[in-house]
Structure 1
Amino acid sequence: MAKYPDKKIIIIMGTLSSGKGTQADKIAEAFGLHHFDTGPFLKKILSSDDPSIAKEKSEYESGKWVSPEFVVKKVLEHAPIFLIQSKGIIFSGSPRTIYEVERELPVFEELVGPENVVVFNLDISEAESLKRSLGRLICEKNKHPIPDLPEFQEIRKAGVCPHDGSKLIKKDLDKPETLKSRSSEHNQRTLPVIDFFRKCGYKVIEINGEQPIDKVFADMMCWLPQYCK
């Protein structure tokens, strides 16, 4: 029997700038979930000068993904803690490799039960992904993303994060050559994860991520009430 059968784990898949973090924030607020955003979470860990993570830090700073082994270790260390503190977890950055999903999914199923694991995929084109990534801003303090979309133009003009009041800046890794490399790596490493979920019997809920933010959220909410009661 699952340890926390009354809690949920939601996983949002999608390529770069598909809106995973934005939708995860909205869903987390709607249902009282913890948004486990592995990007900022790992960035905080990798900002340390700890020599034991020097290799991972170097890889990250060069624009590459940190090793799946490192991601899995940190995710599985903290997931049970976040489950205790909330009604569930919503992931927007992991699992994104076969290595991760093979090791994380069995633990997620033990924690909440397979019936309480929900998987979405936000589908956007490669061209739209690059366009969004090149136009994206983040805040200095907590790296909240501010997309170059109509809904955010006033915020971008003000230059101040609406979440924490810090300055908006350009993300260091959002450069064409880096983004193309990460997009290629995504296609090679992450797309097979979606197939893995399906082979394990999970329905991967496909959402058109090129729609306005509120429409994407509405489409996801059409599915969530049956899971998040």
Structure 2
Amino acid sequence: MIVVFLGPPGAGKGTQAKLLSQRLGFLHLSTGDILREAVKKQTPLGIKAKEYMDRGELVPDNLIIALIEEYLPKEGGVILDGFPRTIAQAEALENMLSAKSKKVSKVLLFDSPDEVIIDRLSGRRVCSNCGAVYHIKYNPPKKEGVCDLCGGSLVQREDDKEEVIKNRLEVYKRQTQPLIDFYKKKGIIYRLDATKSVEELFAEVEGIIKDGG
């Protein structure tokens, strides 16, 4: 089964993907992770992708599709997270899967109001040493600005600043609405309320995945 996760940054897609991996054995394919790994391993595709990344350009669709194809297992469940982002990518994905007698089974849309996303992301703090993640409101460290685990200093990532988040949300909406319509026409999109607790949301995700319809 191939499942696509759609939703704005900070909607909890990564957390849910992790849970699906742990509990149901799904492979979580995040385009960001795949790109970083391919670049690190210096695979032929990784070297090509790095040329674009170094110039600050978007990696072309055909390269991303080739990378997905390289990492796609022959059997088992797969979550595509962060891909497709555009209609062109969705169509290219369809063609690639069709050649393997596969298809996207379900698309889960994680829906959350902008103010909730902004609150979640702008309050996030990351340890500059070990990478542990905190939230000033929902998961604060014992001592302000200091990591509980290693004593490293906590920082706010540039893309977690409010103005940047607002811009990311605008870009997401522009890119994703046509994609939502594309999958709606196919009757395979499921809308989820991403403001629910992690466990409540996972219960819904699991129900949709296990439902054969």
One-letter amino acid of the counterpart of residue 35, structure 2: L
Gaps of 5+ in 2: none
Contact 1:160–1:167, Cα closer than 8 Å, also in 2: no
Partner of 1:196: 182
Counterpart of 1:55, as a letter, is: Y
Q: CA deviation at 1:197?
A: 1.2
Number of the residue aligned with 1:177: 163
Q: How much does 1:124 deviate?
A: 0.4
Corresponding residue of 1:54: 51
Could you list the per-position Cα deviations for residues 32-72 of structure 1 after superposition, in whole angstroms to 9, with x for gaps in the alignment? 11111122332444567958733323427xxxx64444433
Q: Which amino acid aligns with 1:207?
A: L
Task: Report if aligned partners of 1:138, 1:169 keep a CA contact under 8 Å in 2.
Answer: yes
| TM superposition shift of 1:169 | 5.2
Is 2:206 aligned against 1:224? no
Do the aligned residues in 2 keep the contact of 1:160 with 1:168 (CA within 8 Å)? no
How do 1:2-21 and structure 2 match up within 5 A? 8-21=1-14
| Structure 2 CA distance for aligned equivalents of residues 29 and 154 of structure 1 | 26
Q: Shift of residue 106 of structure 1? A: 3.0
- What are the equivalent positions in structure 2 for 1:1-229 lying under 5 Å apart? 8-45=1-38, 50=47, 53-59=50-56, 66-79=59-72, 83-84=73-74, 87-111=76-100, 113-114=102-103, 117-138=105-126, 150=138, 152-153=139-140, 158-160=147-149, 170-199=156-185, 201-227=186-212
Distance 1:210 1:88, change over 3 A: same
Contact 2:158 2:164 in 1 (8 A): no
What amino acid sits opposite 1:136 in the alignment?
Answer: R
Deviates more, 1:39-48 or 1:179-188: 39-48
- 1:154 deviates by 6.5
Letter in 1 for 2:76: K
Rounded to whole Å, the distance in 2 between the matches of 1:127 and 1:182 is 13
Shift of the 147–153 alpha-carbon distance from structure 1 to 2, 3 Å rule, reads closer
Counterpart of 1:42, as a letter, is L
Q: Distance in 2 between matches of 1:147 and 1:194?
A: 30
Task: Find the aligned partners of 1:196 and 1:141 in 2 and give their Cα distance.
Answer: 42
> What letter matches 1:127 in structure 2?
E
8 Å CA contact retained: 1:12, 1:20? yes
1:39·1:93 contact (CA, 8 Å) conserved in 2?
A: yes
Distance verdict in 2 for CA 1:29–1:139, change over 3 Å? farther
Q: In structure 1, what residue type is equivalent to 2:206? A: M
Aligned mates of 2:85, 2:130 — CA distance in 1: 22
Instruction: Decide whether aligned partners of structure 1 residues 100 and 148 sit closer, same or farther in structure 2, where only a CA change above 3 A counts.
Output: farther
TM-score, structure 1 length as denominator?
Answer: 0.72
Per-residue deviation at 1:198?
Answer: 1.9
Q: Aligned letter for 1:192?
A: P
1:5 aligned residue? none
Q: Is the 8 A contact 1:108 1:117 kept in 2?
A: no
